[in-house]
Amino acid sequence: MQSTILPLCAERERAAGVITQKTGLQVSEAEIGYLAMHFGAAKEKIESRRRKKRSVTIGVICASGFGVARLMMAKLKSRFEGWDISFKAYGIDEISPHVISRTDFFISSIEVDNLGVDYCLVNPLITQKDVLQIGVKIDEYSSMPARQENNDFTRQLDEINGIITRVKGVIRRYHHLKVPQDIQLEALIRLLAADLTDTQKAAAVLSADIIAREQVMTQLFPEIGIALFHCRSKAVRDCQIVTATSQGGSLFQNEKLNGIRAVLCMTMPIDENRGQNAEMLGRVSSAIIEDEAFLSTLKQGDEDGIRDKLQKILKTYFTEQLNGL
């Protein structure tokens, strides 16, 4: 710090003179030293920003890759607005050598020590402590040589064609349910599973998959009044979204659903289109944090309003995909 402060002697003397001129107060040597310390810190910060740093690519991991991970991404984008970084959401079983090779480090809400990757373990709602440790790691990687990305134009076109069909399907199949205010958590999940499937067997499989996902990490967020049930399952053939609120429109009364006013349930099949499906449904998860109007509409249980919001969210996503080609 000394090498930074000493060249600032003239600057601090001039600053003290300006203070005296404007206020009529004399600045003591101790106060001048205090000014020097802040000038030095400010100069160091400015110089640091001027140094050439590269963009940092960060993977965000959760069990599925399109539910909680998207909530985390929305929070992270807000906290690190203006930083030269990019985020990509992944399910825990998507972390392949290829993904690792094009990602600087990962952020996860669950422990992933077995993956052998550099990661920060964080709260799904991203606390200030999380922000600090992530910021340190971003600074570290921004000064390192960049990783090489593998862009496949043909693959991108295939993804666009798939998204056209999936976006239309999600919007057309969307609907809203009114359920008993005192419904039990497990009964609510069974009801949603039955609504999203065609047979009792498939409903039982989907219900078990959602419950298993809940046991990995809770999908209940009383802080925002939403239950975000989501999973990949062999019980469904297409991406689907269904929402639910109580028949009275107020908070659910069951103890396990304490603080929950609305439910957003999203499912996707286990097939070769996993990346496309997760990216599309992930935009809906992100909107819960990024769009207060969408969150409010969900809590109100307004089916037409929710459908309209879904159309706008997915239209924006689709347009961005086209513009990115």
- Let me know if residue 185 belongs to a domain: yes
Give the amino acid at 92: I
Give the amino acid at 86: S
The angle, 0 to 180 degrees and rounded to 10, between the axes of the packed helices 200-216 and 185-196 is 130
DSSP label at residue 42: H
Instruction: Look at residue 2 in the predicted model and tell me its pLDDT.
Output: 45
- Same domain as 228, residue 112: no
- Same domain as 89, residue 173: no
SS3 call for 318: helix
Question: Which are the contacts of 115, defined by CB distance < 8 A and separation ≥ 6?
Answer: 92, 95, 100, 106
- Let me know if residue 71 belongs to a domain: yes
- Same domain as 299, residue 249: yes
- In degrees and rounded to multiples of 5, residue 320 shows phi and psi of -65, -40
Q: 91, 107, 142 — which closes off a domain?
A: 142
Backbone CA torsion sign across 141, 145, 150, 153: positive
- In degrees and rounded to multiples of 5, residue 147 shows phi and psi of -80, 155
CATH number of the domain encompassing residue 63: 3.40.50
- Same domain as 158, residue 115: no
pLDDT, one tens digit per residue, over 213-270 is: 998 889 999 999 999 999 999 999 999 999 999 998 899 999 999 999 999 999 999 9
Q: How far apart are CA 266 and CA 259, in angstroms?
A: 20
| Low-confidence spans in the chain with pLDDT less than 70 | 1-13, 15, 27, 30-36, 38-52, 146-159, 324-325
Which helix (H) or strand (E) segment holds residue 279: the answer is helix 274-290
SS3 call for 122: coil
- Let me know if residue 183 belongs to a domain: yes
Q: 90, 111, 142 — which closes off a domain?
A: 142
Instruction: Look at residue 36 in the predicted model and tell me its pLDDT.
Output: 67
> In whole angstroms, what separates CA 206 from the centre of its chain?
24
pTM above 0.85, yes or no: no
Q: How far apart are CA 233 and CA 281, in angstroms?
A: 14
- Same domain as 123, residue 46: no
- Same domain as 221, residue 177: yes
Q: How far apart are CA 38 and CA 43, in angstroms?
A: 8
Instruction: Look at residue 4 in the predicted model and tell me its pLDDT.
Output: 44
CATH number of the domain encompassing residue 209: 3.40.930.10
Instruction: Look at residue 3 in the predicted model and tell me its pLDDT.
Output: 45
Q: How far apart are CA 97 and CA 78, in angstroms?
A: 29
- Same domain as 46, residue 79: no
- Let me know if residue 237 belongs to a domain: yes
Q: How far apart are CA 251 and CA 228, in angstroms?
A: 15
Structural domain boundaries enclosing 32: 2-50
Q: How far apart are CA 178 and CA 298, in angstroms?
A: 12
> In whole angstroms, what separates CA 41 from the centre of its chain?
33
With beta carbons less than 8 A apart as the criterion, state whether 219 and 230 touch. Answer: yes
- Same domain as 26, residue 70: no
Specify the number of domains making up the chain: 3
- Same domain as 222, residue 87: no
Q: 117, 142, 167 — which closes off a domain?
A: 142
SS3 call for 244: strand
- Same domain as 262, residue 127: no
Q: How far apart are CA 42 and CA 287, in angstroms?
A: 37
- Let me know if residue 148 belongs to a domain: no
Q: How far apart are CA 266 and CA 69, in angstroms?
A: 14
- Let me know if residue 69 belongs to a domain: yes
Q: How far apart are CA 240 and CA 74, in angstroms?
A: 21
- Same domain as 132, residue 29: no
- Same domain as 180, residue 97: no
With beta carbons less than 8 A apart as the criterion, state whether 100 and 154 touch. Answer: no
Q: How far apart are CA 64 and CA 110, in angstroms?
A: 11
Helix residue ranges per DSSP H, 116-152 = 128-142
- Let me know how long the chain is: 325
